[in-house]
Amino acid sequence: MNVKILLEYEGTAYSGWQRQKNAISIQEVLENAIKSITGEAVNVIGSGRTDAGVHALGQVANFKTQTKIPIEKLPYAINSKLPEDIVVKHAEIVPEDFHARFWAKAKIYTYTIYNAKFPSPLLKRYSYFYPRPLNVRAMKKAADMLIGTHDFASFMASNSPVKSTVRCIERLEVFQNGDIVKFEIEANGFLYNMVRIIAGTLLDVGINKKKANDIISIIKSKDRSMAGKTLPPQGLCLIKVIY
């Protein structure tokens, strides 16, 4: 059978989602946990990669298994073999052709900036600390200009191998709550480092290094160097995958 699982993880200790040599990935830890309860060498397919240090509140994955463990008991069984920073929150049987990556219609990410004079020990694992005051109104204006279907080549890490750099951002909201400035972005797909580069570009707008209207020319340029820098991974969290 084909099993879909919902995952939460703190990415701090991992080299990212994808299995790789010489580094511990979330995929590898999950596959090992599943193997230790089912005896099967499964291939766990994630909805997409998350980079080293990136968190997930709602990552989705699937794998094929012949296990006799009842589906409602499966999360408990897998969790018993997982470290505390990775948790399976739900499991269900899905059609054989369900594929966590190919079937994903959209994803929601958040990027969190801690914007205060001094860093926060209680938030440092889950946010990017930035001490200078931000013009959130300008950031919201810039965010609005990113919404829609565009060629986001300027917002992709250089030399990423993709067929098309056109994506559709359905929603890009900027929230301010006390010392927190948070972006919530929903798109039908994301280029490599796209959310972190968008966050860096909006930050540039927030400190008046760029104007909100510059977004138009940045998109048009298809030139990575025109956009802002890639903000660090700990502020990024995969919230939800939509099927």
Instruction: Please list the active-site residues.
Output: 51
Of these, 34, 45, 51, 55, which contacts a copy of itself (CB under 8 A)? 55
Query: Any idea what the Cα angle at residue 112 is, between residues 107 and 116, rounded to 5°?
Result: 170
Among 21, 68, 105, 117, binds a copy of itself (CB under 8 A): 117
Residue pair 129/193 in contact (Cβ under 8 Å)? The answer is no
Q: 114 labelled as ligand-binding?
A: no
Residues in the interface with a copy of itself (CB under 8 A) total 23
**20 vs 52: CA distance, rounded Å:** 11
- Interaction pattern, residues 63-82, with a copy of itself; x per rule: CB under 8 A: ------------x---x---
For residue 97 the two structure tokens come to 């052709």
Q: 194-206 and 136-146 helices cross at what angle (nearest 10)?
A: 140
Residues 2-21 that bind a copy of itself (CB under 8 A): 8-10
Nearer to a copy of itself (CB atom), residue 125 or residue 141? 125
CA dihedral of residues 30, 33, 38, 43 (deg, nearest 10): 20
**Per rule CB under 8 A, is residue 180 in the interface with a copy of itself?**
no
List of residues contacting a copy of itself (CB under 8 A): 8-10, 55, 57, 75, 79, 84-89, 117-122, 124-126, 237
